[in-house]
Structure formats: structure tokens, C-alpha cells
A and B are shown apart, each in its own frame.
Chain A
């Protein structure tokens, strides 16, 4: 059959899978951003215990393979009493894993804020919490967004792994179609195209827009 016929017959299935992929992406993105912020700040805490916890977390999740973490979350956690739905297990594994990488980016971002800002806030009698919240954090965004953008594209690609724990996403549908029709070039090729389109024409422009927004808020835009 021609490629057009293939799309006619299987296109809808692939698109439905894509919807799930996007859902996984959005949920895990939210989770990883939150975790990155929390653990990035914890890593810089003066309190040894807090810093230790953050370091252990980061090293652990960066040091093990995402696929292993995913299978573990899905097949092994139930024996410890935590039984998550496949979708949730996937989102949690992705969020925790990418949160660890994100935390390092946030940490680097905070360290890159000019010393003068910290000192000025101190001079103006800001409480540490307020200083972090209103002065430092808003300024890290232009710094962390470019590496965070790369990380988010990585996240999109990583969502493909959840197909291996029964989540019916784009990769899963592509595998299914392949197992029944053996039109490997068409189904995997189309899947590749869809991921590429999402990355290049939706995700990256969105992240670029965020960068511009952040730059404007901090007054770094070009006039």
C-alpha cells in the first residue's frame, strides 16, 4: 500500500497515541519543573541535612537509567505498597528523573545571579525568604531557560519509554501497528516525524517564547 493509504488506515490510531504522549509530556513537565525548583534551592541551603538530602536525590536519579527507574516504579513499587497506574508511574518516573537534572540547572542559575543583587536585598532588609522569592528567582529565568529548553526536548523523547510499561502512547501504537502489519518503515517513520514536528514546531517555539517573556520581565530585552 502507498504511504497515503497507510496514513488513511492507521493515521488516526497514531494521532490518538500522540494525544497520550502530549498528556504525559505536559504532566511530567509540570512535575519536573516543581521538583527542580525545590531541589535546586535545597541544594544551596546552608543546612547540611537539607543539602545532603538534595544531593543524594540528585545523584541517585541522575546515576540510574530512566528505563530502569520506570520499570521499577511500575513492577516493583507495588510490593512496597505503592501501586500507581501506568500513566502515573510514567509521569512520576519522568518527573523525578528530569527533576534531578533540572535541579542542577536551577542551582547553576541561582549561582549565576550577580552577587550585587544578594547584597542589595540584604541591605534593604529583605528577609531571606522574600529575597529568594522576589529578587533572585525572577532573575534566574533568562539564565536557566536555554538549558531547560534542551532538557524539555529530552523529556519529550523520554516519554517514548512509557510505551514499554503499557501506556498507550505514540510509540506504543507504532509498535502495535508494526507487529500486525510489518510496515515498519511507515509506522516508525511516521512516529519519528510526529515527534520531530512536536519538538521543532510546538515545543521549541513555546520555549523560545518563554525566554523572550523572561527576558522582558527582567528588563533584558532589546529596545
Chain B
């Protein structure tokens, strides 16, 4: 087996890897969207006045946050069919990522809401604003910039966790690299390419999150333009 880097092989597999990258981006996007919504549910579970719901919510969130995503994926993928729920690997992956990162996002939401000064809430109360109006016009706009770094970081985090989906057969980038590597019995080029592709996508993404944070802060007058 040739030990050196083979450029011909690299260009041969590049098209497959490029297509698989699109799949990865899609997986990250969909997973993130689900996580955003799930996070809201977990947040509501925390805020309800019913103590028992609070407690159940807390336990579920802690459990999901403290256990590996990899095993959660295996659990959903292998166990659900045994109870008659057969879902494609893709859907299993999306549900698991959504749940897992939803717990993280609920913490981000919570931190953001708590970051809004108490005086804002009190002022709204004094001015007789309805709860919805309070949230919509006063609290959420102020909570949002606080949440952005966290939300942005988890988007990048989900993107970097998509390779785990390959273990349950989802045809994303890492899976393509393993398949191509397995078919040709060479891992050097495929895995190096995957690393490079990830770098090229996540560094700009991280920079964009930082810029977004800056822009929102400027718009809100928190830092000088």
C-alpha cells in the first residue's frame, strides 16, 4: 500500500465528500432548528408554577445533559424499533440531537432571561403591560443579545457533532469518508479531507457568531459604534 499522500485519490473522492458535506450542513441545520424548539419546551417546564412538572423537567434535563450523545443515539436507533416505532436513521439522529442540544439551549434561554434586570420586569408591571407585551417588546429584545453567544456556540457545536450520526448510518460527511476509506482501504486522504472541510466551515461560522454578537450589542447601544 502506498504510504505517501495520493493526490489522484484525493481528487477522485472529492465530489462524493462535497455532496456529503451538504448532507452534514442540512443535518446540523435541522437538528439545530429542532433543538431551538425543544429548548423552549424545557424552559417552559422550568417556569411553570406546578412543582411536580418542574421537578420532572429538571430530572430529564439533567439526565440528558449528563449522558453521552453517542449512547443516546444508539438507544434511540436500536430500542425504538423494538417497541414498534421504526424511524429512518436520519429521523432518529435529528430527534436525539434535538433533545440533547435542546437541554443545553434551555439553559441558555434561562440565563438570558435572568440576565434581564429585574427593574425591567417591575417597570412593565407598573405600567400595566400584559405578559405577552412585556415579553415581546421589553424582555425578549434584551434577552436575545445575552443568548446569542450561547446559541451560536451550540450551532457550531451541533455541526461538529454530526460525525456521531455516522455511527447509526446517516450518510453525512464522516460516514462518506469511512465508506470511501473502507471501499478503497485508505483512510489517510478521506479523514484529512474531512478535517479540512470542517475547519473551513466552522471557523467562519464561529467568526460570524462573534460578529453577530457585536452587531446586536451595537444596535442596542451597549457598545460605542
Contacts and interface: CB of A to CB of B under 8 A. Distances in A.
Interface stretch (A3-11, A27-35, A67-75): A67-75
Given A67-B174, A68-B198, A188-B78, A157 B187 contact: no
B69 interface: yes
A199 B67 contact: yes
Contacts, number: 106
A161 B167 CA distance: 10
A76 B187 contact: yes
B161 A192 contact: no
A95 to B, nearest CB: 17
Interface stretch (A41-49, A58-66, A116-124, A128-136): A58-66
Contacts of B69: 157
Interface string B140-175: 000000000000000000001111100100000010
Contact of B82 (A71, A185, A195): A185
Contacts of A191: 71
A69 B163 CA distance: 11
Interface stretch (B44-52, B86-94, B115-123, B199-207): B199-207
A184 B161 contact: no
A200 interface: yes
B188 interface: yes
B187 A71 contact: yes
B46 to A, nearest CB: 18
A65 B187 contact: no
B192 A195 contact: no
B196 to A, nearest CB: 9
Given A79-B3, A184-B79, A192-B75, A64 B67 contact: no
A100 to B, nearest CB: 12
Contact of A188 (B71, B163, B191, B203): B71
A142 to B, nearest CB: 19
B70 A60 contact: no
Chain A interface size, as a band, is 35 or more
B210 to A, nearest CB: 12
A199 to B, nearest CB: 4
A88 to B, nearest CB: 18
A196 interface: yes
Given A153-B66, A171-B70, A189 B195 contact: no
B66 A195 contact: yes
Nearest to B196: A64
Given A76-B192, A195-B67, A63 B199 contact: yes
B39 to A, nearest CB: 17
A20 interface: no
A62 B78 contact: no
B72 interface: yes
A67 B195 contact: no
Contacts of B164: 67, 161
Nearest to B164: A67
Contacts of B167: 164
B72 A192 contact: yes
Contact of A195 (B71, B74, B203): B71
A160 B71 contact: yes
Contacts of A67: 163-164, 174
Contact of A76 (B62, B188, B203): B188
A158 interface: yes
Contact of A64 (B74, B79, B202): B202
A153 B198 CA distance: 24
Interface of A: 59-60, 62-69, 71-72, 75-76, 79, 153, 156-161, 163-164, 171, 174-175, 178, 184-185, 188-189, 191-192, 195-196, 199-200
Interface of B: 3, 62-63, 65-72, 74-75, 78-79, 82, 160-164, 167, 174, 187-188, 191-192, 194-195, 198-199, 202-203, 206
16 contacts: A60-B199, A63-B198, A63-B202, A64-B195, A64-B198, A65-B160, A65-B194, A69-B195, A76-B191, A184-B75, A185-B79, A188-B79, A192-B72, A195-B67, A196-B62, A200-B66
